[in-house]
A and B are shown apart, each in its own frame.
Chain A
Amino acid sequence: MFSTTIRARRIVAAATGALVVAGLAACSDDAGGAEGETGAESGDDVTLTVATFNQFGYTEEMLDRFEEEHPGVTVELVTADTSEAARTNLTTKIAAGGEGLSDIEAIEVDWLPELMQYPDLFVDLSDPELESRWHDWKVEQATTPEGQLLGYGTDIGPEGICYRQDLFADAGLPTDPAEVAELLGGDDATWEDYFAAGRDFVANSDAAWFDGAQATYQGMVNQLESAYEDAETGEPLDLATNTAVKDLYDQVLAASVDDELSAGLELWTADWDAAFQNDGFATMLCPAWMTGPVEERAGGVDGWNIADVFPGGGGNWGGSFLTVPASGANTEQAQELAAWLTAPEQQTEAFENAGTFPSQVEAQSSEEVQSFTNPFFNDAPVGQIFTSRAEAIDVVPFKGANYFSIHQGVQDALLRVDVTGEQDPEASWDGAVETFNSLGLM
């Protein structure tokens, strides 16, 4: 029948067409497969991506060196502008099942508590050979209760006091770093010593003593062993009855508001930036990595220096780790690269490049670090100072899964009194307690 023939012809034509298409697809598949195979045969061509933020001090020359030592490996650096952007990128991609994560993801110590809850997402990096590389407390920070090491330590944030020697001189205070350290209490410096010196200073100067209550409190709370949560159980402590935190809160606000030592600035705001150029304050807590941001904002201001002293014993503020997400395709090579990047030699180089103080015991004692000075801070021997500051750290604050939710509430309370001035300390504390209660943790 005519119609059937037509139909048959059409069907056959369609079928032939489909076959041709399928054949082509198969061909290209073959070709692709063949290419892949030859690629694999010519030595393990692997591209490793390293995601960092701000400045880690890893240069192209450094990565080239690794590539030379490991033929077939290409290393690519992905840098985010801010740690916040890197954090969002990391958490979002983890939420998406690990798709698109770099082979090595740099994380800040502050993100550890929440990531610790999901150790399966990361490769266990513990390696007996590397155990003595870092200070113990640095390793402890990234170790889960089960003993899994989440990341290799890069830099740390041992804190000294940055100060304006020109403003000190105008107010009749000593300007030499050693004398300033003595003025602030020397080896046994307390917060009361620091605030007392501040009262002397503001009586004779237009400038404030420190930038803000928020930053100062940050330094104080980092000296509490377990600020908001029980170190043993990880259970949150009721903020309403948390006398340790309330003491610090009262202390810092009394100094900030009653004694008028604070310039009333919130970190990283436009006002804070501008205050560096306007002689807004004379001292600030200075973790090693802070020297970079200060120089960035205070360009053209000559008087900055660093004193080898810190109130209330040593303190650590910040610091980062390199982790290897478990979803990566080349986790073994990535672990090797992470270990290489955090080796003393590389971290020394990174310190010279970006001022990030190494967490490696050997790197800290190296000649390069010990002799390193910072011209912007009137040639302060920052290598020596921060080594000495790192040795003074004797407390590792416990930060559990809810640390930041609670911490945020207290910080907000400080800002309401010190920066926006909308509430008095007691009312603002009540607000912090209310915020804590609304978290529903108790």
Chain B
Amino acid sequence: MTLLNAPAPARNDLDNRPPRRVGFSQRLGRWDVKFSPYLYISPFFLLFALIGAFPLVYTAYVSVHEWNLLGGQGEFVGLQNFTDVLGQPIFWKSVANTFSIFVLSAVPQLALAITIAALLDQNLRSATFWRMGVLVPYVVAPVAVSMIFGRMFADQYGLINAILGGIGFDPIGWHSDRLASHVAIATMVNFRWTGYNALILLAAMQAVPRELYEAAVIDGAGRLRQFFSVTVPQIRSTMVFVVITATIGGMQIFDEVRMFDALGMGGPSRNWMTTVLYLYDVAWGNQKNFGRAAAVAWLLFMLIVCIGLINFYLTTRIAAADGVRSSRRRRPKALLAQAPTGAGAPVPPSARPPSSPRPHPTPETDHTHGGEGR
């Protein structure tokens, strides 16, 4: 303790301070400017390394070993697990099922979501009530959804087949016909996610400047024309986001298929077994083979990355084609650096700012439109 109360330093010590100390504090300052931002965002990356990167790397480690769920780590087998998985017809069937269910869910889901969002973007009485209403299905637990729809899609005593029988149609084999089972599962997915996506798209629509609509009305555009020529191009970056999240979700679909029948393994012919379900079966089913399951996980990961890239390429192409048209309109305001873009040449994806530099009105000013009814 005595050291802490050391006498104040003599004045002449200050004069003797070597000049390099100044250099050091300057260097500190430079480091501060250079590295502090990275320090500030490091919590995210540390967390990501812990819960994202580590499992990924560890899964890769497991995938090149023999590894039983109960027995634990076995011998190093190289890529044997991958060739085993790729050689199994059920793996390929599960991939086909996943794609089929994904397409049957993602396409109608996004079409419906954007329609609902456009309708909710109108001047409604008690708008919040309607807007929150579309989110209700999302709040319901997926298992509960599966149980309700399971009753509806039962083959013999199901509600839908009863209705079909009542109006003179043949019942549909929801659990025997491959496509029918995919439609049934896609319906559950759509029920759950449409409202969620609609709200995200609605948020984007709210940010579209109202003057654009006023201008469109003055130009004589109808509701439909306004939607396709103003709303859709204005929210395209959000649509890219929604499409990509829907893709990842679609590739990872599990709950609904697991709950679609009693065994949860995709039916006797594995007609609706998705890849994640296949992974689950390999790891926790009768095989208990973690090595192979890890290989499936990595194959699925690479598949999602591939689809994501294709998706990104396609959506940016579409967005870019739109962007050329709308950027001409906005060019004076936007001050784009690469002004002389040819009308036909697509803007390279990297040059396209994801959320274009259009002015963002504050949400409050927008909401006044919706509040008029009250």
Task: List A residues at the B interface (Cβ < 8 Å).
Answer: 1-3, 5-6, 8-9, 12-13, 16, 88, 91-92, 94-95, 114-115, 117-118, 121, 264-272, 274-275, 278, 280, 404-405, 408, 411-416, 419-422, 431, 438
Q: Of B72, B158, B176, B262, which contacts A421 at CB under 8 A?
A: B176
CB distance from B338 to the nearest CB of A (A): 54
Given A9-B6, A404-B286: A114 and B261 interface contact (C-beta under 8 Å): no
Query: What total of A-B pairs shows CB separation below 8 Å?
Result: 107
9 tightest A-B contacts by CB?
A: A420-B176, A274-B157, A2-B9, A415-B268, A268-B262, A2-B13, A412-B268, A270-B154, A405-B286
Q: Which residues of A contact B9 (CB under 8 A)?
A: 1-2, 5-6
Given A9-B6, A420-B267: A3 and B69 interface contact (C-beta under 8 Å): no
Please, could you name 30 A-B residue pairs with CB atoms under 8 Å apart, sorted by A?
A: A1-B9, A3-B21, A5-B6, A6-B9, A8-B3, A12-B3, A13-B4, A88-B284, A91-B284, A91-B288, A94-B69, A95-B70, A95-B72, A114-B288, A118-B71, A266-B263, A267-B262, A269-B154, A269-B175, A274-B151, A275-B157, A280-B156, A412-B269, A414-B268, A416-B268, A419-B155, A420-B268, A420-B269, A421-B173, A438-B88
Majority-rule SS of B interface residues: loop
Nearest opposing residue in chain A for B264, CB measure: A84
Q: Could you tell me the distance between the alpha carbons of A272 and B157 in the complex, rounded to whole angstroms?
A: 9
- Mark contacts of B303-340 with chain A using CB atoms, 8 A cut-off: 1 yes-contact digit, 0 otherwise: 00000000000000000000000000000000000000
Q: Could you tell me the distance between the alpha carbons of A421 and B174 in the complex, rounded to whole angstroms?
A: 12
Q: Which residues of B contact A95 (CB under 8 A)?
A: 69-70, 72, 290
Q: Does A416 contact B4, Cβ atoms closer than 8 Å?
A: no
CB distance from B207 to the nearest CB of A (A): 44
Q: Does A422 contact B176, Cβ atoms closer than 8 Å?
A: yes
Q: Which residues of A contact B269 (CB under 8 A)?
A: 412, 416, 420, 422, 431
Q: Could you tell me the distance between the alpha carbons of A419 and B286 in the complex, rounded to whole angstroms?
A: 23
Nearest opposing residue in chain A for B18, CB measure: A3
CB distance from B344 to the nearest CB of A (A): 52
Q: Which residues of B contact A271 (CB under 8 A)?
A: 154-158
Q: Which residues of A contact B70 (CB under 8 A)?
A: 91, 94-95, 114-115, 117-118, 121
Q: Does B351 contact A (CB under 8 A)?
A: no
- Mark contacts of B4-21 with chain A using CB atoms, 8 A cut-off: 1 yes-contact digit, 0 otherwise: 101001100110110001
Q: Does B42 contact A (CB under 8 A)?
A: no
Nearest opposing residue in chain B for A11, CB measure: B3
Q: Does B195 contact A (CB under 8 A)?
A: no
Task: List B residues at the A interface (Cβ < 8 Å).
Answer: 1, 3-4, 6, 9-10, 13-14, 16-17, 21, 69-72, 88-90, 150-151, 154-158, 173, 175-176, 261-263, 267-269, 284, 286-288, 290
Q: Which residues of B contact A431 (CB under 8 A)?
A: 269
Q: Of B1, B72, B176, which contacts A419 at CB under 8 A?
A: B176
**Which of B16, B21, B89, B263 has most A Cβ within 10 Å?**
B263
Q: Could you tell me the distance between the alpha carbons of A13 and B4 in the complex, rounded to whole angstroms?
A: 7
Q: Could you tell me the distance between the alpha carbons of A13 and B6 in the complex, rounded to whole angstroms?
A: 12
Q: Of A94, A268, A405, which contacts B287 at CB under 8 A?
A: A405
Q: Does B261 contact A269, Cβ atoms closer than 8 Å?
A: yes
Q: Could you tell me the distance between the alpha carbons of A411 and B262 in the complex, rounded to whole angstroms?
A: 13
CB distance from A215 to the nearest CB of B (A): 12
Q: Could you tell me the distance between the alpha carbons of A419 and B173 in the complex, rounded to whole angstroms?
A: 10
CB distance from A412 to the nearest CB of B (A): 4
Q: Does B156 contact A264, Cβ atoms closer than 8 Å?
A: yes
CB distance from A213 to the nearest CB of B (A): 11
